[in-house]
């Protein structure tokens, strides 16, 4: 190797190392906190075979919308470097406006809502995006204490799966008293959606995946 070759090769190494350093730094700087894991709970919709599209408030063939305050939630599924995860699968389920799940394990005697879908299955788009139209779930009682309003999420990326629960920012007081929310510790803020407008929320879900 002559002097010029050595110079070029050293320069290529330096440029490569700088580039690698820059990418690593960007990844470190941009890395969002992982979304906190939460228990699946007793109401995972194992035997649900009904309608499961993004609009939980209106069932096909029904004339009446589900009871309760209609809200929209959108967000993205991201990998641990903050890159969007296309094709991630999201299953979500929630109580209705009376705090009742349509599930065989449910003990709550609050009324079911025949017009409420209760479950959705989604696949994220090119930018990792997803959205739902639903009603805000009511709090409900359990033998362990009151559950603040929340929506359950089962998110499958390309290599990791996360059970999580999304909480509402305007319920800060009730959230702070909730036994499962308290268990999240420092991860709790990753489970709270942002309110973008009245009835519109945003929640990004960050998985362990590396896209
Ligand atoms: Fe729940």
What CATH number did the domain enclosing 153 receive?
2.60.130.10
Classify residue 77: in a domain, yes or no: yes
Q: Are residues 91 and 135 in the same domain?
A: yes
Q: Are residues 106 and 197 in the same domain?
A: yes
Expressed in angstroms and rounded, the spacing between residue 173 Cα and the centre of ligand 1 is 18
Q: What pLDDT, in 10s, does the model give residues 175-196? A: 999 999 999 999 999 999 999 9
Q: Are residues 12 and 87 in the same domain?
A: no
Q: What mean pLDDT is predicted for residues 119-143?
A: 97
Q: Are residues 25 and 51 in the same domain?
A: no
Expressed in angstroms and rounded, the spacing between residue 43 Cα and the centre of ligand 1 is 7
Q: Are residues 60 and 16 in the same domain?
A: no
DSSP labels for the chain?
--HHHHHHHHHHHHHHHHHHHHHHHHHHHH-PPPPPP----TT--TT--S--SSBTT--TT-SSPPSS-EEEEEEEEE-TTS-B-TT-EEEEE---TTS---STT----SPP-TT---EEEEE--TTSEEEEEEEPPPPEEETTEEEPSEEEEEEE-SS-EEEEEEE-GGGHHHHHH-HHHHHTGGGGGGGBPEEEETTEEE--EE-S---
Residues with CB under 5 A from ligand 1 (ion): 41
Domain hosting 67: range is: 31-206
Q: Are residues 8 and 36 in the same domain?
A: no
Expressed in angstroms and rounded, the spacing between residue 42 Cα and the centre of ligand 1 is 8
Give the global pTM. 0.86
Q: What pLDDT, in 10s, does the model give residues 71-106? A: 999 999 999 999 999 999 999 999 999 999 999 999
Expressed in angstroms and rounded, the spacing between residue 152 Cα and the centre of ligand 1 is 6
Q: Are residues 3 and 43 in the same domain?
A: no
């Amino acid at each position: 190797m002559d002097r010029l070759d050595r110079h070029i090769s050293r320069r290529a190494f330096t440029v490569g190392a700088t580039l690698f350093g820059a990418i690593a730094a960007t990844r470190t700087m941009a890395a969002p906190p992982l979304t906190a894991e939460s228990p699946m709970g007793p109401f995972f919709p194992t035997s649900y075979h009904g309608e499961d599209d993004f609009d939980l408030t209106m069932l096909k063939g029904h004339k009446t919308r589900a009871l309760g305050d209609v809200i929209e939630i959108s967000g993205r599924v991201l990998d641990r470097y903050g890159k969007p995860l296309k094709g991630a699968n999201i299953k979500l389920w929630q109580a209705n406006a009376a705090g009742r799940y349509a599930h065989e394990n449910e003990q709550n005697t609050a009324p079911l809502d025949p017009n409420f879908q209760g479950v959705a299955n989604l696949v994220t788009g090119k930018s990792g995006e997803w959205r739902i139209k639903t009603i805000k779930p009511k709090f409900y009682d359990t033998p362990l204490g009151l559950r603040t309003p929340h929506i359950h999420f089962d998110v499958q990326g390309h290599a990791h799966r996360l059970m999580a629960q999304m909480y509402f920012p305007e319920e800060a007081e009730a959230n702070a008293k909730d036994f499962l929310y308290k268990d999240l510790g420092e991860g709790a803020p990753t489970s709270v959606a942002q309110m973008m407008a009245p009835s519109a929320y945003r929640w990004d879900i960050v998985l362990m995946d590396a896209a």
